Structure 1
Amino acid sequence: MIRKAAIAVALSAALLAPLVATAPSTAASKQAVELSVAAVTPDYATGPNMEIKLSGTVSNTTSAAMSGLSIRLRYSSQRFADRASMQAYLSGQTPQLGLISTSTQLLNQSVAANGSTPWEFVRTPAALGLNGFGVYPVAVEITQGYTSLAEVRTVITYTPDQPGQPRPPKTRLAVALPVIDQPHRSDDGTFIDDKLAAALGSKGDLADLAKIATTAPKSVTWFVEPGLLDDLDRMSQGYTVHGKDSDQKIGPSAAAKQWLDSMRSSLAAAPVVALPYADPDVTALAHQGLDAQTGRALVLGGQKARALLKRDVQTAAAWPVNGALDDDALDLLAVGGVKTVLLNSANVPPQQPTTATLDAAATLDSVAGPVTALLTDPELSRLFEAGAGDSGTLSKQRFVAETALISREEGPNPARSVVIAPSRRWNPNPALVNTLLKTAGKLPWLQMTQLGSIKPGKVQVPRAGLAYTDQDRKDELSAKYLAPVKDLAASALLTSQITAAKGPSAFDAAVLRAASSAWRNSTRAGRSLTKQVQSTVKADMAQIQVTGADRPRTLAGTDGKVPVSVRNSGSKPIALYIDVTSNDPEVLTIGSGSEKPKRELLQILAGQSGGLNVPMTAKSSGDATVSVQLTTADGLPYGKPVKLTIRTTGYTGIALVIVGAALAVMLAAVVTRIVRRRAGRKPASSPRTRESESV
């Protein structure tokens, strides 16, 4: 590993840096020399006369040759008392070592501009005064005259054989490695960027993860985010990337398919845990009333991981963002079936502070019963995620030393377990990680084991419970961010509840992507994704609508039935209710006499229309409006109410008046005619006979 003198001050502030370069006396010299340690062999010494070799290079970073350089080895015969004192030394918090090796090397030839020259020290534990088991400090320093130009600090682990003394129990070591990225799709068919293509390249993070997986021991437990697998699977089939001006269609990605095939093969015999789909911010969801999304993410995550890895996976373990959660989030996970949580050790501190390394397993209480907390070791975990330029030499020395000290620590449970887990969204260095994993497998005081084998012991150090700080709460996705996500979740639920089958929503995955913890540090991108999904859900809901809303309906007479029709332009059968209410009850009421509107579940096939004839009664003539609300079978409103105009005419009453008047006129005419006919007729004379006249 190389460290410039120019960054010595910054390194002294980094608590766990594996090495420190000492600041020289002048600004010019700070940028002049680089000192690197290429190898320290063996990893640990076991006898007083075993040779220990340290080697590396001195580099001149200036444009002129440098002469008069010397390199020397500093050491101390006093071992570190504990891990904390070693940390203080390596982070530059303690003074330089007082002892200097008698064989200071003078670099006789000058170091050319932008050139380098090798160096090497070979010593034995006896020569360095190492007199028993322990970890001892050493440093390599380069000087020019009396000026120190740069220094690299490291350690030597000495484990001499101790005949007749029992060996301490081995420390059980479990390693968890994450395969997590941010969501790259909005809805299932649209990518918001094409960053995964770069990650699959030879220098990309995903390519590095695949390299680690091919050589990692089968004891390593992999925490895989299924949404990432889902994105890559979609890429392997061809995909569309949303652009500012237009969308871009991209053909099937051979790199995505190759990566998936490689991971399936590499992880076939290793323990795999499926994280909740899209890695949602569980604590934020618990605090903002989005409980259902956590349960859905757990179920969907398991389904996708099994399908895409083509094997069974574990779903009863979770690794929350930053390795921290509170009781609310723990309860949500426990109700969803989670029995184990991987947490930062600071999230579950001991009741009494201690410098000793505590056992990794602890028990937490939840509403669903006890949950096992596996607590990561922060120092060892950081060693697995050093920068890409780290050769791994000094990190390996630090790893050997840390684990050796742990193995000799006293405590209530000497046969302790330790868990290593780098940060969830890390930049893996395959060479470094593979070196540390191989080293762990060879150290006689360690026993590599799977994460699932670590259980709380009968005797546990009392813990203070979950320590979720105010800063942890501030780091969550905010209520402001999640408000539109909550609305989106409600709309997405409707798209499934309106269907006759009532299966999971096709937008469940999209909602979970919007709720991903990845947006904690990128809320703008998260909001953009949420808006895109909202548009897609809105368009999907618009496929089911009341027809003819812009055309008035006519109610002929004081009462009658008005048809209300619904069109299903979607691809699935639907089941819904149609609720109609009058907005002008003084003009129009729903129902006709004793006939009340019947609330019937309406079934409409895909691509078909259906409807009801709604009885209505008009109290007067004129226009009135009614509101038509579609609801799911469970009574959830589907979309906004639609207003229809009903035109009432009162034609039946008018017709009766007209008919009555016509009948009256006709009757009067008939009577008049009869009277006139009778009035115009003369009376007949009485018949007389001659005989009567002549009596």
Structure 2
Amino acid sequence: MIRKVSLLAVLSAALLAPMAATTPSTAATKTPGAAAGKASRQSMDVSITSITPDTPSSLTTQIKIAGVVRNDTAEAMTSLRVRLRYSAQKFTDRAIMSAYQTDQNPATLPSQVSTRTPVSFMDIPALEAGASKTFELLATPVQLGLPSFGVYPIAVDVARFDVPIVTQRTYLTYAPPTPQKLPRNRLAIALPIIDQTHRAENDNFVDDKLGAQLTGKGRLAELAGIAATAPKSVTWFVDPALLDDAQALSRKHRLKSKDQAADPNATTWLDSLRTALADSPVVATPYADPDVAALAHQGLDGQTGKAIEMGRQIATELLKRDVPLTTNWPVGGVLDPDALDLLNVAKVDRVLLNSTNLPPQPPVAFTPDAVTTLDAVEGPVTALVADAELTRTFEPDSSAPGSVFLNKQRFIAETAMIAAEPGQTNPRSLVIAPSRRWDPNPKLVNSLLKTANRLPWLTLTQLGLLKPSKASVPRAALTYTDQDRKDELSAKYLGPLKKVAEKAQLTALIADEPKLHSDFDAAVLRLASSSWRNNTRAGRAATKLVEGAVQAQTNKISITGADPDRPRTLAGSNGQVPISVKNSIGETVALYIDVKSNNPGLLQIDTTQSKKLLTIPNDQNGGVQVPMNATTSGDATVSVQLMTRNGLPYGKPVKLTIRTTGYTGIALVIVGAALAVMLAAVVTRVLRRRSQRRLARAAKSRESETV
């Protein structure tokens, strides 16, 4: 934070100058990265804008320190002096150096104050309200009493009557030849091109924020510009889903289901990024940068493998080059053994981690080598640990005056301190990895990359070339805190997503030739993106859009005439009822039709037909005749469920009403009765004829006897 003194304090200090001259505790100090770019109306400000050269190399090298003093008070200020404060006592370790930069106590400022004129201080007789004045201070290492290679505290203050009003702290790295050659440490810089997920399903965007980032001073446009000029040793992590989003934006698309014209800037950005990364090492994240730890903990293990496979395919297609995914950078740079094993099973053998996730054990007083080895389920995994302080120099609050210069000085000082740490004679590996959705200051990043490329104690190295070495130190097990677990996408968020994923997979399994991936795989992976961690409300809205699209696709295969209020008639106690299926999904499907009676006491089903695979071309109907047997007349219901070839239910079951008439049984009774009547009549006739014949024979016999 930059502290500034009010006009009242300045005037009071002037009046009390004789007493205050020996008590510098009234001075205000400033730190780089502080949110002090917006000066209050009652303050003074001093900013250092350059030190030339930034690493003086001899006792007589002239050092030029330039900057600006600004009067943001409401009145003119008089009798001001800009002074250089310095110390011949160099920092002994990085922790003390870091503490100096953030300290607000004037007592910790360098004690020596320049008194040589005209080069080591500058008087400003008067500075009007709202006015500013540049300054330039000159000195040499011998004048500053610098004894040897190292990082020294310096500061510039503005004083009135020798009472400091405001101060800016920084570092001076003195780099003369050393008796013992400094180790040339390997520095790998990993820069992310990763963004918030912008789409739900296919061409349907959930927001209109992507286009603005692809042009002018948009974040993604500036990242492409940095990539175009960066050293070819810088490693870039690219989310294939971002490339995919940009390509979708370059065509006709929808925004919350409303038609939109193609955005030509998306094509331009893709082309420029492809050119910028053509000769640089590129690593793809799994598609949509999923929250791997959350997937491992919530039973969605299979999504990680899909994301890696799809990420490789999309990145290779859109960047027009081979892009590996064997290195993974988990969200926040932290993972636990479950997530590590999940990645390892998917052929990941290198991970980029935060230093808090894998601290040295026991703690060490020097900077440990960035490379170590972890044990995972499929074998050893190389862990690359980013240095927190070095990383911080790439992503400061750039609104602070002079932040670009001050962070460059901090970067130089940090790397010099590491090179000069006692007892460390072997080169070590160092890693810088800014947060994945950073908003870079191009001027700062370009300055740091150029500086890193020329410092004699650094060698810029591709991340993929770093390997464990003799300088590696033991590290603790993966440290995954309760807060890390809370930061994950929750079970409440992922529960609906899991159901959507299962339904989406069915649309692939129902195909005549079953597919491993559905048309909704990419949409499901976008819902699992770590970018929803801080925006779950928008993520849930996107989930509902995808769920609706999956259901609409599922409904394109349906049972025709499925109206429970319009019963189907079974004429008689047994017979066949037709079940028909309409296919409008866009390809040939193969399925089973499973029919079950909901009233088995009234209606029984012959399940033979449900065991036959039914193939239905697109835009056609197919069906089966299902044998049924009714024990009595009346209405009964059956449940009809479409099934995939591997026995999974497709869509919701449909209820049909079957009305049985019993006509066949009644007919048999009638026919039987009629046959009985006919038989009785025949028998009666036969008996009558026999009786008549007997009577005739008897009469004839009597006649014969009479004669």
Q: Same fold (TM over 0.5)?
A: yes
- Does 1:270 find its partner at 2:280? yes
Contact 2:395 2:440 in 1 (8 A): yes
Match of 1:496 in 2: 508
CA distance in 2, matches of 1:423, 1:415: 26
Match of 1:344 in 2: 354
Secondary structure of the residue aligned to 1:97 is coil
Q: How does 1:64-463 map to 2 (within 5 A)?
A: 64-92=75-103, 95-103=108-116, 105=121, 107-145=123-161, 147-162=163-178, 165-242=179-256, 247-389=257-399, 391-410=403-422, 414-458=426-470, 460-463=472-475
Contact 2:187 2:461 in 1 (8 A): yes
- Does 1:524 find its partner at 2:537? yes
Match of 1:556 among 559, 565, 571: 571
Q: Deviations over 1:166-221 (max 9, x none)?
A: 41220011110000001100001100011011112312101110110110010000
| Matched residue count | 668
- Whichever residue aligns with residue 241 of structure 2, its letter is G
RMSD: 2.6
Match of 1:577 in 2: 592
Q: Deviations over 1:308-345 (max 9, x none)?
A: 11111111011111100000000111111111111001
Displacement after TM superposition at 1:479 (Å): 0.9
Unaligned runs of 5+ in 2: 7-29
Displacement after TM superposition at 1:374 (Å): 0.5
Match of 1:470 in 2: 482
Q: Deviations over 1:661-681 (max 9, x none)?
A: 122333444566677899999
CA distance in 2, matches of 1:651, 1:261: 76
Match of 1:12 in 2: none
Secondary structure of the residue aligned to 1:37 is strand
Secondary structure of the residue aligned to 1:342 is strand
Contact 1:326 1:466 in 2 (8 A): yes
CA distance in 2, matches of 1:509, 1:20: 41
CA distance in 1, matches of 2:542, 2:199: 8
Displacement after TM superposition at 1:144 (Å): 3.0
Secondary structure of the residue aligned to 1:5 is coil
Contact 2:34 2:397 in 1 (8 A): no
Q: How has the CA–CA distance of structure 1 residues 458 and 538 changed in structure 2, closer, same or farther, with 3 Å as cutoff?
A: same
Q: How does 1:651-670 map to 2 (within 5 A)?
A: 651-669=663-681
CA distance in 2, matches of 1:558, 1:449: 83
Q: Deviations over 1:369-397 (max 9, x none)?
A: 11111000111111111234355111111
Q: How has the CA–CA distance of structure 1 residues 314 and 687 changed in structure 2, closer, same or farther, with 3 Å as cutoff?
A: closer
- Whichever residue aligns with residue 253 of structure 2, its letter is Y
Match of 2:639 in 1: 627
Match of 2:4 in 1: 5
Secondary structure of the residue aligned to 1:276 is coil
Q: How does 1:502-541 map to 2 (within 5 A)?
A: 502-503=514-515, 504-541=517-554
Secondary structure of the residue aligned to 1:175 is strand
Secondary structure of the residue aligned to 2:504 is helix
Contact 1:194 1:241 in 2 (8 A): yes
- Does 1:544 find its partner at 2:570? no
Q: Deviations over 1:540-575 (max 9, x none)?
A: 111111111113222222222222111111112111
Match of 2:43 among 32, 48, 67: 32
Percentage identity across paired residues of the two chains: 56
Instruction: Name which of structure 1's ranges 84-93 and 95-104 shifts more when overlaid on structure 2.
Output: 95-104
Q: Deviations over 1:496-517 (max 9, x none)?
A: 1111222211101111111111
Q: How has the CA–CA distance of structure 1 residues 347 and 321 changed in structure 2, closer, same or farther, with 3 Å as cutoff?
A: same
Instruction: Name which of structure 1's ranges 522-531 and 390-399 shifts more when overlaid on structure 2.
Output: 390-399
Q: How has the CA–CA distance of structure 1 residues 20 and 522 changed in structure 2, closer, same or farther, with 3 Å as cutoff?
A: closer
Contact 1:39 1:56 in 2 (8 A): yes
CA distance in 1, matches of 2:677, 2:601: 36
Q: Deviations over 1:488-542 (max 9, x none)?
A: 1111111111112222111011111111111111110111111111111111111
Instruction: Name which of structure 1's ranges 465-474 and 614-623 shifts more when overlaid on structure 2.
Output: 614-623
CA distance in 1, matches of 2:155, 2:700: 166
Contact 2:243 2:315 in 1 (8 A): yes
Contact 1:45 1:159 in 2 (8 A): yes
